[in-house]
Amino acid sequence: MKLLLINPNISDSVSALIGAEARRTAAPDTEIDVMTAPFGVAYIETRFEALIGAYAAAQLAAEHHARFDAVIVAAFGDPGLPGLREALPCPVTGLSEAAMASACLLGQRFSIVAISQRIRAWYRETVEHAGLLGRLASIRGLDEPLADIGHVQGDQGERLVALAERCVADDGADVIILAGAPLAGLARSLRGRLPVPVVDGVSSAVRHAESLVALQPGKATQGSFAPPPSKPHQGLPDSLARLLTQR
Amino acid sequence: MKLLLINPNISDSVSALIGAEARRTAAPDTEIDVMTAPFGVAYIETRFEALIGAYAAAQLAAEHHARFDAVIVAAFGDPGLPGLREALPCPVTGLSEAAMASACLLGQRFSIVAISQRIRAWYRETVEHAGLLGRLASIRGLDEPLADIGHVQGDQGERLVALAERCVADDGADVIILAGAPLAGLARSLRGRLPVPVVDGVSSAVRHAESLVALQPGKATQGSFAPPPSKPHQGLPDSLARLLTQR
Amino acid sequence: MKLLLINPNISDSVSALIGAEARRTAAPDTEIDVMTAPFGVAYIETRFEALIGAYAAAQLAAEHHARFDAVIVAAFGDPGLPGLREALPCPVTGLSEAAMASACLLGQRFSIVAISQRIRAWYRETVEHAGLLGRLASIRGLDEPLADIGHVQGDQGERLVALAERCVADDGADVIILAGAPLAGLARSLRGRLPVPVVDGVSSAVRHAESLVALQPGKATQGSFAPPPSKPHQGLPDSLARLLTQR
Amino acid sequence: MKLLLINPNISDSVSALIGAEARRTAAPDTEIDVMTAPFGVAYIETRFEALIGAYAAAQLAAEHHARFDAVIVAAFGDPGLPGLREALPCPVTGLSEAAMASACLLGQRFSIVAISQRIRAWYRETVEHAGLLGRLASIRGLDEPLADIGHVQGDQGERLVALAERCVADDGADVIILAGAPLAGLARSLRGRLPVPVVDGVSSAVRHAESLVALQPGKATQGSFAPPPSKPHQGLPDSLARLLTQR
Amino acid sequence: MKLLLINPNISDSVSALIGAEARRTAAPDTEIDVMTAPFGVAYIETRFEALIGAYAAAQLAAEHHARFDAVIVAAFGDPGLPGLREALPCPVTGLSEAAMASACLLGQRFSIVAISQRIRAWYRETVEHAGLLGRLASIRGLDEPLADIGHVQGDQGERLVALAERCVADDGADVIILAGAPLAGLARSLRGRLPVPVVDGVSSAVRHAESLVALQPGKATQGSFAPPPSKPHQGLPDSLARLLTQR
Amino acid sequence: MKLLLINPNISDSVSALIGAEARRTAAPDTEIDVMTAPFGVAYIETRFEALIGAYAAAQLAAEHHARFDAVIVAAFGDPGLPGLREALPCPVTGLSEAAMASACLLGQRFSIVAISQRIRAWYRETVEHAGLLGRLASIRGLDEPLADIGHVQGDQGERLVALAERCVADDGADVIILAGAPLAGLARSLRGRLPVPVVDGVSSAVRHAESLVALQPGKATQGSFAPPPSKPHQGLPDSLARLLTQR
């Protein structure tokens, strides 16, 4: 099985974290390929940055999906995921929805621990769009500027643990999601440190993508995730254009 | 006052409809400028097409907003609107949220009448993301392929009226939204034909944009609609890059 | 265009604030008339006071609406608004729904800053009845008795600013609504003082009433906002009786 | 124990139905007094009529409550109830909330069978304001003009049964509420005719009012149902004025 | 009338509290019988303990219900109630739903004061399953181990009052529910101590059970609370088996 | 890895279906053990039957879990799952939550196709308790008595397909869940027959259980899924008693 993980941001250091955690998680016969967006920002905290990341992810997915069994949008917030689920013939998932799927199998209410204050609004909307606000206990975020997005785990590890503990003690969280690709792998290194199950987006996405491939549920030919109906288009990169016309 | 209406699709015929209705609605001293996306599809029915339209709208807005007092994303579903509201210094609105704002001032529950069956799922999510599912009575759509997106009002006018009447009689609608830029102006020509108030997205957006400019509520410098925090970026068109760096 | 603003309370000083802000906002050719309830209380904080205000507003509206293009219930909580929307042939709006419509065009989540602690429950129900709890970040209120309802802006201005700042920093508000007719005009005088857009009920209601008149969406003849069905009545003031019988 | 049932409408024939069912239900030592609104309409179907009925109910309650242990607003929709609960020193309930309380003790989801199509929107909002939409299976109503509001049970009994059966078979109702004072007592005469428990508003309200008196839960002196804070008022009937000033 | 109260836990001291409060509340001609679970735990704080209590309650109810007019599951959280409502021919209620029914007749939003921190999650789910989260202001619980479940009222009375006061002042509660059978009767002894109405589960359940018997709403023969359809079974205690086969 | 699947019903034929589908799905090194409840009913359609099944599942789990890496409650509705998640040291999941997790990774809204009309209410509550009503398109069920629960796939296959097609065409389903252990494996045999992805509970549960074991998220020691606090108990089977005392 071959999985394509798309980092919709430009940070090669984060792509390296993503790839490392994906490979630690994947089945022995699963190949992992991580691609980094050729344009965009270092990491997504806002709706505007997500809009850019969605388009970058769509271009990479359109160009490369044919060689893979499944595609993972490897940023929390899952920019571009709903559209790609319509357009691609293979299963697609993202860090947010995969992490939330894991969390929902481990407890009733989850909290999200994130890398900044600003990012919380966008994460909250991600949970809301998934229809899961009723299971969200809280979202807490670091409140300092990040010196280096590739080293946030090392720089801020203890602060992240403290945030998670408050989610459990004060907010009623049954499960903690450590959110954002820059935290990929942190759940693994914190094993045993937290009083509730801890979920990581990358490893959840890899496992769930493998499951979707294995379960072979089929691709929609009707309903709202069937490929978009054929209609005139213009000016698009070839790869996107092909997705709109091949059925 | 100068308003920029961005058609995030490639249909010049729809842009003409948008412009005509906008000019019929606007105050005498309001200038209307309509721009058509240089790339994309003829009209948006799906999440994937919306992803493309959002990026096209963002590029046009980034390039041209400085000459305008407000920007309108002139497609139902408002592709790109939340991100642009963060990034642009001026008010931004879209056909969906403007139509829903009007509808909420006219009754308790509204229905949406749309140009296709497929489009309903995307519209439903638009209403859900606005937190307004509790006020949605129903969404009904035409069930035939559209011969020409620029002439759907003429070709399908009576069918659209019949759908609206069922929304009132069967679904409990207090207000009808005729949704989608291709229906721009239809509410005006149907005046008196329907048993409840009828709302048009373009005219609502023009009026509300004028109001937002007049009310001068201020631009967010904190909170989730402040401009995105500064961070590394690369590979973006100059106009988008400028939005990410100028504060 | 002629707009009737009905203060459902007995405070002439508040009516003066309402009228001043309405005239500052209205289009040059819009005439503003403010009427004060002949019976009731100084300002509404409770459901019981709102019940009285609703009846007072209904009597004034029934008596005078024929000379106006639209009617505004000029108290937060909009006492009597849903009933008047059924009964009157012209558009009707109120400070709450107009302020919330503006807020929803400016951000995702809004907070309400109010003049007392007690008033918060009634405001919360107002938001809930509008189906907008999902967009409410918080409601905060002053916690001191008000010396003079006509001077609360001057007496409590800085405290109100501090409350608004906490709504942004602690509650996640994207927009602040300064709620209640006694605060009419305060948003204007605070321009630039707050880190997010600020909304005023009176100016919003005037702009939106003008828009509803201009858009001519039509009056319901079916559905739940059609005039009440004819049936026996007795003992009502002539003006209310006329509203129940003329179709 | 003495209970005051206030018919907020002018129909003496409906007051007679209310009184008869109340007396059939009440404990032997409970005295029942029914008062009919001196002004208003024959029966409430709309928000506007409810506004009038609320004020009429408030006047009767203010004038007479002191002689009673509890007050019942004897119309579905409970016009004026929330305000009266603040202002009166004794327990207050209404047909809607009492019927819904009974229904919630008998099953998970209930349907409402009502006397007209138009009335459904107002009933739906009543359920929504009670926070019980999640337990509402459906609202169905007669679709013919009512010849005589005092004889609707006899004229339309079989049609009402048929509507109730559809609520069970098609809508998933576990319980049926026969709604509206004009149907007072019908649940009793239909006993054994319907395949699920049937709830009547008047008998529920009498039982629950007796319970509230017996349980002596206490009157709020803080929170949103404490009496309204003292403030200037004018022009009110003496009885209403007294409620606003006596503490 | 004869009421069976089932304590789904093994605590005879709590059964004594339940019986005492039930007898203080019941009508003179109502006989009260309290039965204690022969197996289980001292009191229920968790979903796992509730699972056990539900089965114990079902066995007692199946064995003894025929001699009673109604059955009350006398633990907060109502373990087994929904199933027993299907299976038993008589009315069944529980402390939670009865307390919430009372609370909803006394105010808009209620808080629950409970005997431990851990129990809060289970109570929250109880409220959620009742569809009443929209009316829940908060749940607060004692944060110390309980020395003796039969004496928690005496040991912790003042702490419980302090929690209730915070619910009113900080959380917006209009009504307080003192939750859990170990607090049976505390509302009565606190009369006049709290600034809002106080609700007790046992007395509410007794009153409401009496009402359900008196109102004779009928037993479901269709819908989701009809007795379970007949099907093969094995290995069950005779009493449970009889409930599954007798119609 | 060793997985224990507990059929909380007495049907060996259904256990055989469960085991067959589980083994077809499991990884090569995963051992599957299926146990059938020693007491209970043939299949669960109601809350009362679920109460019994929960207790049977708890006994089997308590007795045997120590030899397994994860436990699966192998009935739709997941009787006993929340309690077992607290009490067992290993991951636990169930057919409903696993199927819904898969469905949420494949589309926005899912429908459930079930084996009877009666079962729909219980399934709806299962979805509601999972906080996923916002993603439920519909629940449709067969409307004929089942001749043999072990052969429902063969007897009713075409009818089930027809129900699924209506869910897509009429209800807006993006994904179909074929619900209930008696349908285990049907999704596999229907591959390619339906126009949207199809989800099976058993295979989903096996995959997700394997993922939970692999991800090693940790067991809660705090929060609402920590083991129940220690307290007096009596009369329980040894296995259940051990779960309550060993920490």
E195 at C interface, C-beta within 8 A? no
Q: Are residues A55 and A106 in the same domain?
A: no
pLDDT in tens, F189-220: 998 999 999 999 999 999 999 999 999 999 99
Partners of B198 in the β-ladder: B176
Inter-residue contact D214 to E30 (CB < 8 Å): no
The C-alpha angle with vertex D65 and arms to D61 and D66, in degrees rounded to 5, equals 150
CB contact under 8 A, D243 and C48: yes
What's the confidence (pLDDT) of residue B147? Answer: 82
E148 pLDDT higher than 90: no
CB contact under 8 A, C235 and D10: yes
Q: What confidence tier does C247 reach under pLDDT thresholds 50, 70, 90? A: low
Asked if the interface predicted TM-score (ipTM) of this complex is over 0.85, the answer is yes
Nearest CA in chain C to D121: C224
Q: What confidence tier does D67 reach under pLDDT thresholds 50, 70, 90? A: very high
Token pair in block for residue A135: 């299971």
Q: Are residues A156 and A63 in the same domain?
A: no
A82 at B interface, C-beta within 8 A? yes
Partners of A4 in the β-ladder: A33, A71
d(CA A120, CA A113): 9
Residues of B in contact with F109 (CB under 8 A): 121
Q: From the CA of E132, how many Å to the nearest CA of chain F?
A: 13
What's the confidence (pLDDT) of residue A149? Answer: 85
Q: Are residues C90 and C102 in the same domain?
A: no
pLDDT in tens, E177-229: 999 999 999 999 998 999 999 999 999 999 999 999 999 999 999 999 999 99
CB contact under 8 A, C83 and D48: yes
Closest Cβ opposite residue B105 in set C172, C212, C223:
C212
Mean pLDDT score of chain F: 96
What's the confidence (pLDDT) of residue A144? Answer: 85
Q: Which of F35, F41, F148 to mutate to test the interface with E (most CBs of E within 10 A)?
A: F41
Residues of A in contact with B58 (CB under 8 A): 48, 51-52
- Across the range F144-173, mean pLDDT stands at 92
Q: Are residues A153 and A214 in the same domain?
A: no
Percentage of chain B surpassing pLDDT 90?
93
* AA letter at E7: N
CB contact under 8 A, C102 and B212: yes
Residues of F in contact with E224 (CB under 8 A): 46-47, 118, 120-122
Token pair in block for residue B43: 């009209």
Nearest CA in chain E to A137: E121
Closest Cβ opposite residue E87 in set F48, F87, F116:
F48
> Which parts of chain A register pLDDT below 50?
none
Residues of D in contact with F138 (CB under 8 A): none
C144 pLDDT higher than 90: no
From edge to edge, which strands make up the β-sheet containing F2-7? F31-36, F2-7, F70-73, F92-94
E and B touching (3 or more beta-carbon pairs closer than 8 Å): no
| Number of domains chain C is built from | 2
Token pair in block for residue B46: 């799906």
CB contact under 8 A, E211 and D102: yes
Q: Are residues F139 and F81 in the same domain?
A: no
Q: Which of F21, F93, F106 to mutate to test the interface with A (most CBs of A within 10 A)?
A: F106
E240 pLDDT higher than 60: yes
d(CA E158, CA E141): 13
F108 at B interface, C-beta within 8 A? yes
D208 pLDDT higher than 90: yes
Does residue C155 or residue D61 have the better pLDDT?
A: D61
Inter-chain contacts counted by CB atoms under 8 A, chains B and F: 8
- Across the range D188-203, mean pLDDT stands at 96
Inter-residue contact A212 to A93 (CB < 8 Å): yes
Q: From the CA of B76, how many Å to the nearest CA of chain C?
A: 15
CB contact under 8 A, E55 and F51: yes
Q: Coil, helix or strand for E35?
A: strand
Q: Are residues E102 and E196 in the same domain?
A: yes
- Across the range C105-114, mean pLDDT stands at 98
Nearest CA in chain E to D224: E174
Chain A: touching chains (3 or more CB pairs < 8 Å) = B, C, E, F
Contacts of B56 (CB under 8 A, 6+ apart): B8, B37, B38, B39, B40
What's the confidence (pLDDT) of residue C91? Answer: 98
Chain C: touching chains (3 or more CB pairs < 8 Å) = A, B, D, E
Give helix B201-215 / helix B95-104 axis angle, nearest 10°. 80
CB contact under 8 A, E172 and C125: no
In the numeric block, the tokens 């990929």 are attached to A184
The C-alpha angle with vertex B55 and arms to B63 and B49, in degrees rounded to 5, equals 145
CB contact under 8 A, D231 and C86: no
Produce one character per residue of C12-30: b if its CB has 16 or more CB atoms within 10 Å, e if not: eebbebbbbbbeebbeeeb
B and C touching (3 or more beta-carbon pairs closer than 8 Å): yes
Mean pLDDT score of chain E: 96
CB contact under 8 A, C196 and B223: yes
Chain E: touching chains (3 or more CB pairs < 8 Å) = A, C, D, F
What's the confidence (pLDDT) of residue A247? Answer: 58
On whether the pTM is more than 0.95, the answer is yes
Produce one character per residue of E76-114: b if its CB has 16 or more CB atoms within 10 Å, e if not: bbbbbbbbbbbbbebbbbbbbbbbbbbbbbbbbbbbbbb
d(CA C207, CA F77): 52
Residue F212: CATH number of its domain: 3.40.50.12500
CB contact under 8 A, E231 and F10: no
Q: Are residues F88 and F112 in the same domain?
A: no
A89 at E interface, C-beta within 8 A? no
Percentage of chain C surpassing pLDDT 70?
99
Q: What confidence tier does F247 reach under pLDDT thresholds 50, 70, 90? A: low
What's the confidence (pLDDT) of residue B148? Answer: 85
- Across the range B59-79, mean pLDDT stands at 98
F149 pLDDT higher than 90: no
CA dihedral D127, D130, D135, D137 (to 10 degrees): 0
Residues of B in contact with C134 (CB under 8 A): 131
Among residues B24, F141, B3, A8, the alpha carbon closest in space to that of A18 is found at A8
pLDDT in tens, C61-81: 999 999 999 999 999 999 999
Please identify, among D185, D201, D217, the residue that sits at the C-terminal boundary of a domain: D201
Q: Are residues A184 and A122 in the same domain?
A: yes
Q: Are residues D59 and D112 in the same domain?
A: no
Q: Are residues D131 and D185 in the same domain?
A: yes
Sign of CA dihedral A118, A134, B78, B10: positive
Q: Are residues E218 and E185 in the same domain?
A: no
Q: Are residues E228 and E167 in the same domain?
A: no
pLDDT in tens, F52-102: 999 999 999 999 999 999 999 999 999 999 999 999 999 999 999 999 999
Token pair in block for residue F114: 């079930």
- Across the range D59-73, mean pLDDT stands at 98
Percentage of chain C surpassing pLDDT 90?
94
What's the confidence (pLDDT) of residue A36? Answer: 98
Token pair in block for residue C190: 């605070």
Q: From the CA of D46, how many Å to the nearest CA of chain F?
A: 30
Contacts of B201 (CB under 8 A, 6+ apart): B74, B76, B95, B96, B98, B99, B177, B178, B179, B180, B181, B183, B184
D and A touching (3 or more beta-carbon pairs closer than 8 Å): no
pLDDT in tens, E103-116: 999 999 999 999 99
d(CA E156, CA E190): 13
C and F touching (3 or more beta-carbon pairs closer than 8 Å): no
- Domain range spanning residue A121? 97-201
Q: Coil, helix or strand for E11?
A: coil
CB contact under 8 A, C52 and D122: no
CA dihedral C144, C149, C153, C154 (to 10 degrees): -90
Among residues F163, F167, F207, F157, the alpha carbon closest in space to that of F187 is found at F157
d(CA A103, CA A204): 9
D24 at B interface, C-beta within 8 A? no
Nearest CA in chain C to B185: C215
Nearest CA in chain D to B169: D117
